């Protein structure tokens, strides 16, 4: 079941002469997915999330959450949990008071039990009576996460949940999210510019750059897809590799042949892999290994978000 949908969504903040912040975004997120929305600062991640929450209206196109225009009905709002980067917690409240306040807002039953369970989950049980003003950024983020799920939402929107945290706290938040995704059937929309976080948490990701989605797939498919048009052949030495490159170039069908030590790389759009291998064998060359390069998510990401001006 599709629970979040954007259909050719565009958003501009200025007049017609200002370029849109979001420029024709289309997305469909299924129930239970942990969806990573990845992009550099200023790409439009927070803006997308605000539109999905009904806090901003699209300039063009539409969004649907649970099949409805968001921000219209409290019943739908109650099925969503949100953690913004600045979590908006009141420093003068205690951890317990803050959760209790939100639990009341959402009409949570057995508030005491629920709050104890959540404080335990995020590792703040012994700080339940402490003022939020005394908390570290990491503790505030964990409390913010507890608050975002106090009413057991079906979709959790997270805006850069690890921003501003030290590596230790980042890891704790990530582990909490992993546990949350594994133990509850919750859909997560995760905004992040943190490649490692997204790679560890998300079943599928979209890469956003300058208001457009440059790619949308599983991490595995993105990495494989990025190298799908090339193969690498290792020969039994550099001299053999140089000879293999000559043989392949002489075919005039493979436009991008390269040599690096004992490796020969070639694009395979002009010829199928078995044919390339057979050609090299017929030329009397010793093939040790044939592989398809798999790029890191980082490589894929930087290819997608390369500045157009520099490309
Ligand atoms: N309310 C607003 N008015 C004008 N410009 C905005 C507003 N909100 C965001 N922007 C601009 O939209 C772009 C995308 O911002 P944002 O969605 O916050 O990006 P991200 O969350 O990916 O870092 C930025 O250039 C930002 O300055
Ligand atoms: Mg943002």
Q: Is the CB of 209 under 6 A from ligand 1?
A: no
Q: Which helix (H) or strand (E) holds 223?
A: helix 219-227
Torsion angle in degrees (nearest 10) through CA of 141, 146, 152, 155: 10
Of 23, 42, 191, the one to substitute when testing ligand 1's pocket (max ligand atoms within 8 A of C-beta) is: 42
What is the enclosing helix (H) or strand (E) of 291?
A: strand 287-291
Tell me the best of 18, 39, 47 to mutate to test the pocket of ligand 1, counting ligand atoms within 8 Å of each CB and taking the most.
Answer: 47
Mean pLDDT, range 1-10, rounded to an integer = 97
Considering every ligand atom shown, identify the ligand nearest to the alpha carbon of residue 37 and give its number: 1
Tokens 């995704």 — which residue?
181
Which atom of ligand 1 is found nearest the CA of 43?
Answer: 22
Mean pLDDT to the nearest integer, 239-255: 92
Burial class (CB in 10 A: 0-12, 13-18, 19+), 10: middle
How far, in Å, CA of 9 to CA of 298, rounded?
27
Which tens digits make up the pLDDT trace of 79-111?
A: 999 999 877 899 999 999 999 999 999 999 999
Nearest CA to ligand 1 atom 12: 21
Give the closest residue (by CA) to ligand 1 atom 2: 13
- pTM here is 0.84
C-alpha distances out from residue 307 to 48, 211, 301, Å: 21, 13, 12
Condensed to tens digits (0 to 9), the pLDDT of residues 27-75 reads 999 999 999 999 999 999 999 999 999 999 999 999 999 999 998 998 9
CA of 163 to the centre of ligand 2 (A): 10
% of the chain residues with pLDDT over 70? 97
Domain extents in the chain: 2-224, 229-291
Burial 172-196 (b: 16+ CB within 10 A, else e): bbbebbeebbeeeebbbbbbbbbbe
pLDDT tens digits for range 195-226: 989 999 999 999 999 999 999 999 888 887 76
d(Cα 74, Cα 66) in Å, to the nearest integer? 13
> Could you identify the atom of ligand 1 that is nearest to the CA of residue 47?
17
pLDDT, mean over the chain: 92
Res. 18: pLDDT tops 90: no
Please identify every residue whose CB atom is under 5 Å from ligand 2, which is an ion: 45-46
Q: Is 39 in the pocket of ligand 1 (CB under 6 A)?
A: yes
Local confidence band at 310 (pLDDT 50, 70, 90 cut-offs): very low
Rg from Cα positions in the chain: 25
Q: What is the pLDDT of residue 308?
A: 55
d(C-alpha 137, C-alpha 245), whole Å: 56
The fold adopted by the segment(s) 229-291 is: Alpha-Beta Plaits (3.30.70)
Residue nearest atom 9 in ligand 1 by C-alpha distance: 47
- Rounded to whole angstroms, the Cα distance separating 205 from 222 reads 9
CATH architecture designation of domain 2-224: 3-Layer(aba) Sandwich (3.40)
Ligand 1 close to Cβ of residue 43 (< 6 A): yes
Q: Does this chain's domain 2-224 share its CATH topology with 229-291?
A: no
Q: What is the DSSP string of 35-60?
A: EEEE--TTSSHHHHHHHHTTSS--SE
CA 301 to centroid of ligand 1, rounded, Å? 20
> What tokens were used for 286?
């010793």
Nearest to 186 by CA among 203, 162, 205, 169: 203
- Ligand number with the minimum distance to the CA of 43: 1
User: What's CA 292's distance to the chain center, in Å?
Assistant: 25
Over range 248-276, report the average pLDDT. Answer: 89
């Amino acid at each position: 079941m599709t629970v979040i949908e954007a259909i050719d969504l565009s958003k501009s903040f200025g007049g017609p002469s200002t370029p849109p912040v979001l420029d024709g975004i289309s997305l469909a997120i299924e129930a239970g997915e942990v969806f990573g929305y990845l992009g550099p600062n200023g790409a439009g991640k927070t803006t997308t999330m605000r539109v999905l929450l009904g806090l901003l209206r699209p300039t063009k196109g539409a969004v649907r959450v649970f099949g409805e225009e968001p921000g219209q009905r409290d019943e739908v709002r109650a099925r969503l949990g949100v953690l913004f980067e600045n979590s908006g917690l009141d420093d003068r409240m205690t951890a317990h008071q803050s959760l209790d306040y939100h639990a009341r807002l959402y009409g949570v039953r057995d508030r005491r039990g629920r709050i104890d369970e959540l404080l335990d989950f995020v590792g703040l049980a012994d700080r339940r009576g402490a003022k939020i003003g005394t908390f570290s950024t990491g503790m505030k983020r964990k409390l913010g996460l507890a608050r975002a799920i106090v009413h057991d939402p079906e979709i959790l929107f997270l805006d850069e949940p690890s921003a501003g945290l030290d590596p230790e706290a980042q890891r704790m938040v990530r582990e909490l999210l992993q546990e949350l995704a594994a133990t509850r059937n919750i859909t997560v929309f995760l905004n992040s510019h943190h490649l490692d976080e997204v790679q560890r948490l998300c079943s599928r990701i979209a890469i956003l750059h300058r208001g457009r989605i440059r790619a949308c797939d599983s991490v595995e498919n993105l990495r494989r897809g990025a190298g799908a048009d090339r193969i690498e052949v290792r020969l039994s030495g550099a001299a053999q590799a140089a000879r293999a490159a000559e043989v392949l170039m002489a075919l005039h069908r493979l436009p991008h042949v390269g040599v690096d030590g004992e490796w020969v790389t070639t694009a395979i759009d002009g010829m199928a892999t078995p044919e390339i291998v057979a050609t090299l064998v017929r030329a009397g060359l010793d093939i040790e290994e044939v592989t398809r390069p798999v790029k890191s998510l980082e490589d894929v990401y930087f290819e997608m978000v390369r500045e157009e001006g520099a490309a």
